[in-house]
Amino acid sequence: MFALSVVGALVLAAPAFAALGRPILFSDGLSPHVDSSFWAHLNPTQSTWSQWDWGYTPQTCYNNANSNGVSPYDFEIFAVKYTDCSNAWVLRLMGYGYFPTLSSCRHHNASLSQIDMIDLFGRLPVHERQWVRHIIAVPGGGSAYMSNADVVFQGPVGTPSVFQHEVGHAVDFYKNSVRSSGTSQFINAINADSCVPDSYANSNEVEDYTQVGVLAMYDIVNPGGLDGIGANWRCLVNQKNALDGFQRDHMTPGGACTRRWADDVTVKMGPAVPRQKRAPIEQASDLPVPGPSYVAPHAFQNLVFNATEQLKAKLRQAAWQKGEAATV
Ligand SMILES: *[C@@H]1O[C@H](CO)[C@@H](O)[C@H](O)[C@H]1NC(C)=O
Ligand SMILES: *[C@@H]1O[C@H](CO)[C@@H](O)[C@H](O)[C@H]1NC(C)=O
């Protein structure tokens, strides 16, 4: 009995995904090759936002606070309404009598500001965004992960490529009926190719798929496409074509959202919240709930930030909040 259960535990503890061990296209990661074009060509989406009163938080923010070693009390919870996911057509189509918002959680000491979160998430195509439930920012050394369709940013990772990578995990796991990165089409494509994007992609097929997704996004938004990236990217053309088949339609900017997840349940931040304090009004509950998923944190290196774009995002957001047109 004892031996059997040890074997069982070993099987369960074994890594779910194997390292690929393939030659790599870029030895310094993807950010130095894609982010300056992303900053210029992934355009922000107009939005407004509002703060939740202190005291309540989505369950996932409570859980991720605890797993990150910070207090759920020290979070700002805010709701973002993007114009491409709040129009009357979407409301009628979905049959819900409320404006869909993205409930987001930020620890007071997170490197990402609320504006960074709103701006960077809003630069991604709406059909990618619609596979994410909540976005969360906590302090940390510069890493990020995806769990249950929620994306968690730990420390200074405010670049479009990191957002594309993490949101890309949600698209991989949830858009198609099976995880796209685990299909024989994609595994065969890895084997048919002579490289993967970078050493991070070599971690396993899940990270590889999502890094190929970053390059596929570059192909879509960079004038001249991937041929402008300054390296022979065709060593991964089979992976890129396979990924395009799975999700290129959802990576193309424009349009309006066609679905959303139910928000996670709202809970008190903890016992210090006064007994009579009321929870925010619950949204419609007949929306789909994401099945479990988890992709471990990855530490990003050589990220290309852009302080000018960050400042512009602040000015834009302030104008939109006042109902004015943005001039930057
Ligand atoms: C930031 O992005 C803008 C728009 O793409 C670009 O013009 C500018 O050169 C970038 N600045 C830095 C410091 O990278
Ligand atoms: C934020 O960081 C400062 C400086 O490291 C620290 O003193 C403070 O306790 C932190 N606040 C929270 C809420 O973690």
Q: What is the pLDDT along the chain (328 residues), one digit of tens a residue?
A: 333 333 333 344 444 577 999 999 999 999 999 999 999 999 999 999 999 999 999 999 999 999 999 999 999 999 999 999 875 444 444 444 445 788 899 999 999 999 999 999 999 999 999 999 999 999 999 999 999 999 999 999 999 999 999 999 999 999 999 999 999 999 999 999 999 999 999 999 999 999 999 999 999 999 999 999 999 999 999 999 999 999 999 999 999 999 989 899 999 999 999 988 888 766 666 789 999 999 999 999 999 999 999 999 999 999 999 999 998 8
> Which pLDDT belongs to residue 97?
41
For residues 68 and 140, the answer to whether their CB atoms sit within 8 Å is yes
Helix (H/G/I), strand (E/B), else coil: 106: strand
Amino acid identity at 183: T
The C-alpha atoms of residue 78 and residue 50 are separated, in whole angstroms, by 6
User: Per the domain annotation, does 4 fall within a domain?
Assistant: no
Q: Best substitution site from 35, 305, 308 to test ligand 1's pocket, by max atoms within 8 Å of Cβ? A: 308
Looking at the CA of 65, name the nearest ligand. 2
Ligand lying closest to the C-alpha of residue 35: 1
- Concatenated DSSP letters for 218-273? HHHHSTTGGGGGSS-GGGGHHHHHHHHHHHHHHHS--S-----PPPPPEEES-TTS
Distance 39 CA to ligand 1 centre (A): 7
**Is 5 a member of any domain?**
no
- Ligand 1: residues with CB < 6 A are 36, 39-40, 306, 308-309
Residue 145: in which H helix or E strand, if any?
A: strand 143-147
Q: Is residue 3 part of a domain?
A: no
Q: What is the pLDDT of residue 285?
A: 64
Residue 218 lies in a domain: yes
Return the structure tokens found at 139: 């302090």
Alpha helices of the chain — where are they, by DSSP H?
2-13, 31-41, 59-67, 88-94, 114-123, 126-129, 160-174, 184-192, 205-221, 237-251, 307-321
- Dist. CA 14 → ligand 1 center (Å): 44
Q: How many domains does the chain have?
A: 1
CA-CA distances (angstroms) from residue 132 to 148, 164, 290? 9, 12, 9
Residue 174 buriedness (CB in 10 A; 0-12 / 13-18 / 19+): buried
Ligand 1 atom with the smallest distance to the CA of 40 is 5
The CA 109 to ligand 2 mean position distance, Å, reads 6
**Tokens representing residue 128 in the block:** 């990618």
Residue 233 located in a structural domain: yes
- Reported as half-sphere exposure (CB side, CA atoms, 13 A), residue 306 has a value of 19
- Name the residue among 45, 247, 240, 283 with its Cα closest to residue 160: 45
Total Cβ atoms within 10 A of residue 261: 20
pLDDT at residue 16, as a whole number: 57
Provide the β-strand partners of residue 51: 78
318 in any annotated domain: no
Give CA 79 to chain center in angstroms. Answer: 16
> What span, in angstroms and rounded, lies between the C-alpha atoms of 98 and 284?
8
Q: Say how many C-beta atoms besides its own lie within 10 A of residue 316's C-beta.
A: 23
Per-residue model confidence (pLDDT) at position 218: 98
**Contact residues of ligand 2, CB 6 A cut-off:** 74, 108-109
Which residue's alpha carbon is nearest to atom 14 within ligand 1? 306
Tell me which residue range forms the domain holding 285.
13-304
The answer to whether position 122 is within a domain reads yes
| Bridge partner list, 146 | 151, 295
Q: Write down the pLDDT at residue 2.
A: 37
Give burial (CB, 10 Å; 0-12/13-18/19+) of 102.
buried
Report if residue 227 sits inside a domain.
Answer: yes
